[in-house]
Amino acid sequence: MIYNTDLSEFISGKQELNISIIQFFMMFLHRVCITEGKENMYGFLDPAYTNPVGPNSSETQAYITNTLEKEGKQIYLCPYINEHHWQLLVLSMVDKTAVWFCSLHKKIPTNFKDIIDTSWRGYNILKGRSISNNLNWIRIKCNKQPGSYECGYYIMQWMITIIRLGVKTGWKEVINLYGLCTIQTAL
């Protein structure tokens, strides 16, 4: 549910965006995918279910594995919040790549990376594939946010750009060609 205070913070552009705004934006992106005929290409992982709390991350891992297996999309966009900072993980099922966007140039948190890798292995098991099919991790060096609250706006821009361009493979080439960011390092 979106409240007036949520909309006010979004419109003001001067506060960290809460999870409700990101979820609402993802619903908008889903509608964009349908309108542009890309609903079978792009899927979304709900940030409310991808942020592990405490030492038990099995529910998060199960959610991700089941979503990948049931929906069968080519790309999954996964906004992730860690210590009040939004970051974006893009899972490309086509080329077995995990692309990490962070406007503060932080590395992916180890516990989250482990959950994604475990989910990937679980997905491959469910599909009858070898679990040795590891993800290729790419960390993107994006424009660095100037303040302390812009990260949510950055991830929204990256998500809509990826969808509008129809990106699903060739991350290095697309990122360099369209000037989204530059490749920083493999993780």
Which position has the higher pLDDT, 92 or 171? 92
Answer yes or no: is pLDDT of 7 > 70. Answer: no
What would the pLDDT profile of 18-52 be if each residue is shown by its tens digit? 899 999 999 999 999 999 999 999 999 999 998 76
* DSSP string for residues in 76-116: EEEEEEETTEEEEEEEETTTTEEEEEETT-PPPPHHHHHHH
Mean pLDDT of 69-92: 93
pLDDT band at 184 (very low <50, low <70, confident <90, very high): very low
Which position has the higher pLDDT, 184 or 110? 110
Identify the pLDDT of residue 17: 85
pLDDT band at 185 (very low <50, low <70, confident <90, very high): very low
Which position has the higher pLDDT, 183 or 169? 169
Query: Quick check: 164 and 97 in contact, CB under 8 A?
Result: no
Residue closest to 80 by CA, chosen among 54, 114, 46, 57: 46
Could you state, in order of their start, the residue ranges of all structural domains in the chain?
4-186
Answer yes or no: is pLDDT of 144 > 90. Answer: no
According to DSSP, the residues that pair with 183 across neighbouring strands are: 140
For the chain, where are the E strands, in sequence order?
Answer: 42-44, 75-82, 85-92, 97-102, 136-141, 182-186
pLDDT band at 178 (very low <50, low <70, confident <90, very high): low
Q: Which pTM was predicted?
A: 0.85
**CATH topology classification for 4-186:** Adenoviral Proteinase; Chain (3.40.395)
Question: Rounded CA gap, 87 and 145, in Å?
Answer: 12
| Mean pLDDT of all residues belonging to the chain | 83
Which position has the higher pLDDT, 152 or 8? 152
